[in-house]
Amino acid sequence: MNDLIIQNIKALVLPQSTDRPLKGKALDELTVIENGTVVVKDGKIVYSGEYTEDYVAKETIDATDRVVSPALVDAHTHLVHGGSREHEMTLKRQGVSYLEILEQGGGILSTVESTRNTTEDELFEKAEHDLLTMIHHGVLAVESKSGYGLDKENELKQLRVSRRLQEKYNLEMRHTFLGPHAVPKEAESNEQFLQDMIDLLPEVKTLADFADIFCETGVFTIEESKRYMQAAKAEGLKVKIHADEIDPLGGLGLAIDEEAISADHLVASSEEDKKKLKASDTVAVLLPGTTFYLGKESYADARGMIDNGGAIAIATDFNPGSCVTNNLQMVMAIAALKLKLSPNEIWNAVTVNAAKAIDVDAGTINAGDKANIVIWHAPNHEYIPYHYGINHVEKVIKDGQLYVNRDLSILS
């Protein structure tokens, strides 16, 4: 007998299972079934499709007037960090730029100091709270970066915390070493610090799935980023890159040339590099919540990337300085309003393509897939990015078991 049937689903969202990320026009192709059924056994999907009474199960959930989808995938987060930087909001309101704040010892360097002064258990407790918030907002697959240690001891500390979270909650998590996230105050030079991070790669690979670098003006150049990425690949790590966030240095082109699994941010990427996406499986992970939070007018050119036949995903960039939200639903709304994405493109960008950007088995609920499912209190799949800033999740089902049940009743 099956374990669970979800019946009478108002709108069943079924991104297609695919070996490669969805590109171009395929991003706007999404199966949405009215009056659907999902059947689960042993933590896997047995059936997902039109209404049927051909199955029996131990438990039935009535999803009348509800949307059902795969659990979301957050493909870019800085989950593990110490401290917070709310004091920087005043500087931002005064028009002080991100790079100027960094030069004053704020920004990343402020969080580095806090992270270094926070114990591993304290970091775990803080990150656990933020991870649980993500789960309650419908996310069951997460990428978690280091990058706030900037030395051996504290980078490894962050990665251990990330691994401990995965072990405790048995989530689809990927762990990224972002040692070259900034240059610490005590570094003799950029060159020496980068070499220190390269020398750390053999030890890091026991904890990390990916290696990442911040390629930007005042941080690391294209040449330095290439050297780091090639060293990481030689150690067997897949590579990512923070690219073209502020200035068009050519980070997207470098990512494609180095066969990076993703290139992230891309607000300032060149037209030439965007055209290269078509012939590449590198996923452009766009972070519109960051542009929104920093008060910038120019967003990543999602439409241009899609029209050029590229693959995009959407993620939060949850971090303490430039995007302080772990609500991926909110970022879906920003993607609709500012990136001009259709609802279908948004859903594919936070499920199947986000999963490809971090190499996880997630983002689909077709037959044979893991039964990681969200039941949404919404009349249709377009409503969720439309009604912004709140949590539409009613239930989260993990491996076929009810994991989160948001009871909105008020205690009397």
Annotated binding site: 76, 78, 85, 148, 181, 242, 245, 317, 319, 321-322
Helix then strand count (H, E) for the chain reads: 15, 17
Annotated binding residues for Zn(2+), written as ranges, equal 76, 78, 242, 317
Return the biggest CA–CA distance within the chain.
Answer: 69
Question: CA 354 to CA 370: how far, in whole Å?
Answer: 16
Q: Which long-range contacts (CB under 8 A, 24 or more apart) does 384-389 make?
A: 384/67, 384/329, 384/332, 385/329, 385/332, 385/333, 385/335, 385/336, 385/343, 385/346, 386/333, 386/336, 388/329, 388/330, 388/333, 388/334, 389/327, 389/330, 389/333
Closest CA to 262 of 207, 305, 324: 305
Closest CA to 311 of 8, 89, 5, 24: 24
Torsion of CA 308, 291, 220, 266, to 10 degrees: 0
Burial class (CB in 10 A: 0-12, 13-18, 19+), 94: exposed
Annotated binding residues for 4-imidazolone-5-propanoate, written as ranges, equal 85, 148, 181, 245, 322
- DSSP H or E segment with residue 40: strand 31-41
Annotated binding residues for N-formimidoyl-L-glutamate, written as ranges, equal 148, 319, 321
Annotated binding residues for Fe(3+), written as ranges, equal 76, 78, 242, 317
Using CA atoms, how far residue 235 sits from 228, 254, 402, in Å, is 11, 19, 39
Question: CA 137 to CA 234: how far, in whole Å?
Answer: 37
- DSSP H or E segment with residue 395: strand 393-398
| Contact between 335 and 299 (Cβ < 8 Å) | no
